[in-house]
Structure 1
Amino acid sequence: MEAKKSIKILAFLTVGAIAIFFLVLFLNTDIESRKGAETSTDLLGLEQNGQQQSFAAANMPVKSESDFVVGPGGEELDVIVYEDYADIYSAQFAETLERARAEFGEKINFVYRPYNVLSSELSAQAAQAVLCAAENNSKGADYRSKVFTALRAEQLNGDVFSRIAEEVGIEKGAFAACLTNMEKKEKIEGLVAGAANFSVTGAPTVFVGDEMIVGARPYEAFTDSNGDEIEGLKQVIERQLK
């Protein structure tokens, strides 16, 4: 009788131990899932709110001959920008970049690369339109600027790309053919996929020298919500030029 009772107690304890084990396992998994969700939410908030973070870049992109470059070329400081031409935060950051371009002029090469963070048809169309304009002599900078102007005015749609091309003086027929060119589309897809090699996960993301900035960094230094002093894009560029 006592033996049976002992066996029952042992069985009960064994079942209890197994139950506790699975409960602990479940709780740990839930905690990790919550951490992952919080991280995803933080990154999403970073993109949606146009905020910013800075990192020492572990792997730097390098300017190539096929890039869309505005600047003197050569060995000047490269500012490599990943941007989405249908994303309002990229449009806002484009104004910041224009301030840097006006102030630092021939000291910087601005390298513009597409990153379709919105994964929309409009993002893809806009990226191909900007690429087509960039390959048309010196029209790319004006075209890109007008695309972002249309976006800020909430007027960006599939019908405006050809109109903007005419405004900046790009031949209509050649531009229309470029918009449907599969090689151009594949080039953009390659640039977007290749951005993962440099830890790019959103737009805008900018590389200044050996520093990576995520989000729409203001031009001037500012104080963040935690009371910390954060360098503006201007201060980062000045430091990298030294």
Structure 2
Amino acid sequence: MRGARAGGSRRPFYVALLVVLVLGAGAISWAMNRTKAASVMTIDPKAAVGIKAQGHTLGSPAAPVEIVEFADFECPGCGQFATVTEPDVRERLIKTGQVRFRIFPFQVTQAHQNTIAAALAAECAADQNKFWEMHDKLFGGQADWSAMYSPGRDPRPVFDRYVKELGLDQAAFNACYDGRQHLNTIAANTEEAMRQKVAQTPTFIIGDRMLAGAQPYDAIKAVVDSVRAKGPAAPAAAPAPDSAKK
């Protein structure tokens, strides 16, 4: 009888505990979905109408070869290229005048939920002539703001930290970012990626060659040398305002 009474006294406790757990899980799920919905930024494809994608360039407009990269700020392979290979490309190819580099940031997959926000942050930094500095911050600190590492994460606090570290005008950045002032530019980049039949990121176009994936320096250099041997590059499009050597 003692055992039966003990078992009966525990049943209400377990029922109550189950109710608490179910309600708690529901509340957590609701909160995560609410945060996720609040932080994910999207673009309207129609925003690209009448806008010509120009990207952002680095290096001399007179360089004989242009490397074009289609990149997604949340793409791990893009982060690998930007932090491992690109420093060599800048030092050994761009600074020496052999190539100019042009990047088109866009969202390659909707699974990269914070990519558009990051691209917008970079465009807003470009308004203050700091695109490449923000580019480096975003790729170097990808794990700090990417939703790939933490779904539902709001990247804005990290972007604001980068704004401070780069010495940008916070009020001007806020007006640009909160006003979504460059979503049409990102939409145009997306249209250009589709036109070029870009299927993954990073994708590089060097002359008549298309390379997919995070390429090592030697692979980039080999294609550059091959293109140079064929003759000068076609005239470049008008560079973005932040074009400069770095």
Partner in structure 1 of residue 90 of structure 2: 101
Partner in structure 2 of residue 114 of structure 1: 105
Which residue identity is paired with 2:140? Answer: T
Which residue identity is paired with 2:67? Answer: V
Query: How far does residue 75 in structure 1 lie from its aligned partner after superposition?
Result: 5.2
User: Percent identity of the aligned residues?
Assistant: 26
User: Does 2:131 correspond to 1:140?
Assistant: yes
Query: How far does residue 68 in structure 1 lie from its aligned partner after superposition?
Result: 1.0
Query: Contact (CA 8 Å) 1:78, 1:111: kept in 2 or not?
Result: yes
Higher gyration radius (CA): 1
User: Does 2:115 correspond to 1:123?
Assistant: yes
Partner in structure 2 of residue 198 of structure 1: 196
Unaligned runs of 5+ in 2: 1-51, 146-154, 230-246
**Segments ≥4 residues shifted beyond 3 Å:** none
Which residue identity is paired with 2:100? Answer: N
Any idea what SS the aligned residue of 1:121 has?
Answer: coil
Alpha-carbon separation, structure 2, partners of 1:65 and 1:197: 11
Partner in structure 1 of residue 178 of structure 2: 180
| Per-residue CA distance 1:71-91 (angstroms, 9 max, x = gap) | 112453211111011111100
| Higher-strand-fraction structure | 1
Alpha-carbon separation, structure 2, partners of 1:85 and 1:150: 10
Query: How far does residue 66 in structure 1 lie from its aligned partner after superposition?
Result: 4.2
Alpha-carbon separation, structure 1, partners of 2:209 and 2:58: 20
Any idea what SS the aligned residue of 1:159 has?
Answer: helix
TM-score, L = length of structure 2: 0.62
168, 171, 175: which one aligns with 2:169: 171
Alpha-carbon separation, structure 1, partners of 2:212 and 2:99: 19
TM-score, L = length of structure 1: 0.63
Query: How far does residue 116 in structure 1 lie from its aligned partner after superposition?
Result: 1.0
Query: Contact (CA 8 Å) 1:68, 1:131: kept in 2 or not?
Result: no
199, 206, 209: which one aligns with 2:207: 209
69, 72, 79: which one aligns with 1:91: 79
Any idea what SS the aligned residue of 2:107 has?
Answer: coil
Partner in structure 1 of residue 60 of structure 2: 72
Query: Contact (CA 8 Å) 2:63, 2:99: kept in 1 or not?
Result: no
Any idea what SS the aligned residue of 1:91 has?
Answer: helix
| Per-residue CA distance 1:135-182 (angstroms, 9 max, x = gap) | 322x2112111111101xx21233211211221121111111111334
Any idea what SS the aligned residue of 1:79 has?
Answer: strand
Any idea what SS the aligned residue of 2:101 has?
Answer: strand
Query: How far does residue 207 in structure 1 lie from its aligned partner after superposition?
Result: 0.7
Which residue identity is paired with 2:56? Answer: F
Which residue identity is paired with 1:78? Answer: E
Query: How far does residue 97 in structure 1 lie from its aligned partner after superposition?
Result: 2.1
Alpha-carbon separation, structure 2, partners of 1:109 and 1:143: 19
Name which of structure 1's ranges 174-183 and 191-200 shifts more when overlaid on structure 2: 174-183
RMSD after superposition: 1.9
Partner in structure 2 of residue 238 of structure 1: 225
CA gap 1:212/1:66 in 2 versus in 1, 3 angstroms = closer
